[in-house]
Amino acid sequence: MSDEVMRKIVEIIAAQALISPEEVKPESSPEELGVDSLGLVEAVFAIEEAFDISVPFNANDPTSGEFDISSVEKIAQGVRTLIAQQKG
Amino acid sequence: MRRVVVTGMGVVSALGSTAAEHCAALEAGRSGVGELEMPDVERLSVRIGAQAREFRGEDRFSRSELALLDRATQMALAAADEAVAQSGVSFAGEAGLRAATVIGTALTGMGTIDEAYRAVFQEGKNRVHPFVVPRLMVSGPTSNISMRHGLRGPAWSVSTACSSSNHAIGQAFHMVRAGMADIAVTGGAEAPLVFGVMKAWEGLRVMARDACRPFSRNRTGMVQGEGAAIFVLEPLEAAQARGAPILAEIAGFGMSADAGDIVQPSAEGAARAMRAALEDAGIAPEEIGYVNAHGTGTAANDRTECEALRAAFGAHAERLMVSSTKSMHGHCLGGAGAVELAAVIHALREGVIPPTINFEEPDPECALDVVPNEARRAELRAAMSNSFAFGGLNAVLVARRFEG
């Protein structure tokens, strides 16, 4: 399941950054990969749809929320937590 | 060119159903934001808004009238009735031929669309009310105001997202000033507090969940509102000749486009619109005492607007009073500039600056005098009202106190 979470998130980020999934490293931040603020909002939407969860993310201040978006790995960790909380 | 004055003003907002109620609440620093009341509200993650709860179409219009009027049009008609009555003008006969109607509305009749979609998609019905089309038209407020008051001159609607009202009022002002119309009924209206619209705004993730706190460091976004404000504009000489009340003078209007991002604002574009409005008014930046800010309470707007104010006003920015009344009446989208011009006119007439309420913590990136939490007494000669829209369409009005 965890690998599946990572694989799906990589796919979503790659689609927003217009790069191939192989280029997305777990330690990369969305910003480094070329995802702008609108792209981030779309990525969060895609994640919510893919995992049927609700992500606490405010575009006003993306870095200060409860959801860590500083790297792909952090996003995956956050999503796993949310899945456990909301669907466990 | 002719000088143009405001001789009538009408308002419907979460703060009240007349201009007097709206302005009294602004002075008192009272919030119109509360828990939203609408079908399916439990499915929203943002459940607050500035609803004009006291405004009920059923109290003002017959059943057959209501069938043709979206809530935005109902509010626009009520505000227009108030404005025209205050102005005391008659549009009978020839006068109506030279009278313009210019109303700003960002969205079409969303309540009407929501209701009809609910019927066909959710309830599986195969027919909707026969008047859905005339009720939902974005030009509904303009058409109905012109019909009700016999305004038979130039009439059109303006839709530039959150700048719609200022673009409408600015164009009406320029028409009257240039002699293309002898009088104008202008303003804006919006009724976006319906499920579908709230869902759409949720998606952008720029909505506050507790309160709208413009310029406060702990702000978390905007709060949606609804309302309408309508004004009667006419040449100074005509107004004086018929002994009309003169509430303020519209002095200048400036527009610009960022030509940048579809959602991120630009300080450069906003500052250009402010400079253009000052130049159009022939007013030095130092004459402006108060700016009613666009002030949405989002991180991006408030920071960018303060930067733009500094760019447009230079050192005088430090002496300006800048407040966002959206903290009280919410963000009325296409109606925003109009309900905010009412605040500006009241400030010019009464010498009371409406506050930015819910202000808790200064933000170094918004370090201007934002008139926090309490109204302030100050005599003004001139004031500015900013509207900036998604898609980078900026519209700024400058008004002057009228001294007869």
Domains of chain B as residue ranges with CATH: 4-241 (3.40.47.10), 252-400 (3.40.47.10)
Residue contact B263–A38, C-beta within 8 A: yes
> Residue A1's pLDDT is what?
47
Among B262, B264, B299, beta carbon nearest to A60: B299
The structure tokens 């906003």 sit at: B270
> Residue A2's pLDDT is what?
57
* Torsion, CA B378, CA B18, CA B25, CA B186, rounded to 10: -50
Label residue B16 exposed, middle or buried (CB < 10 Å: 0-12, 13-18, 19+). Answer: buried
- Tell me how far apart the alpha carbons of residues B336 and B346 are, in angstroms, rounded to a whole number: 16
Residues in chain B: 404
Annotated catalytic residue within B22, B149, B174, B331: B331
- Tell me how far apart the alpha carbons of residues B362 and B340 are, in angstroms, rounded to a whole number: 23
* B162 is a catalytic site residue: yes
* B331 is a catalytic site residue: yes
Residue A87 has pLDDT above 90, yes or no: no
In this prediction, residues A51-71 reach a mean pLDDT of: 86
The alpha carbon of residue A61 is apart from the nearest alpha carbon of chain B, in Å, by 7
Chain A contact present for B204, CB below 8 A: yes
- Tell me how far apart the alpha carbons of residues A85 and B177 are, in angstroms, rounded to a whole number: 62
Cβ-based neighbours of A81, under 8 Å, separated by 6 or more: none
- Tell me how far apart the alpha carbons of residues B176 and B100 are, in angstroms, rounded to a whole number: 9
Q: Tell me the residues of A at the B interface, defined by beta carbons under 8 Å apart.
A: 37-38, 41, 44-45, 54, 57-61
Contact status, residue B83 vs residue B141, Cβ threshold 8 Å: no
In chain A, the residue whose alpha carbon lies closest to the alpha carbon of B261 is: A38
Regions of chain B where pLDDT drops below 70:
none
Q: Which domains does chain A have, with CATH numbers?
A: 2-87 (1.10.1200.10)
Question: Which amino acid does the sequence have at A41?
Answer: V
Chain A contact present for B230, CB below 8 A: no
- Tell me how far apart the alpha carbons of residues B234 and B5 are, in angstroms, rounded to a whole number: 6
Q: Write out chain B in H/E/C secondary structure.
A: CCCEEEEEEEEEECCECCHHHHHHHHHHCCCCCEECCCCCHHHCCCCEEECCCCCCHHHHCCHHHHCCCCHHHHHHHHHHHHHHHHHCCCCCCHHHHCEEEEEECCCCCHHHHHHHHHHHHHCCCCCCCCCHHHHHCCCHHHHHHHHHHCCCCCEEEECECECHHHHHHHHHHHHHHHCCCCEEEEEEEECCCCHHHHHHHHHHCCECCCCCCCCECCCCCECEECEEEEEEEEEHHHHHHCCCCCCEEEEEEEEEECCCCCCCCCHHHHHHHHHHHHHHHCCCHHHEEEEECCCCCCHHHHHHHHHHHHHHHHHHHHHCEEECCHHHHCECHHHHHHHHHHHHHHHHHHCEECCECCCCCECHHHCCECCECCCEECCCCEEEEEEEECCCEEEEEEEECCCC
- Tell me how far apart the alpha carbons of residues B199 and B195 are, in angstroms, rounded to a whole number: 6
Residue contact A59–B45, C-beta within 8 A: no
Q: At B312, list the tokens.
A: 């447009």
- Tell me how far apart the alpha carbons of residues B400 and B404 are, in angstroms, rounded to a whole number: 12
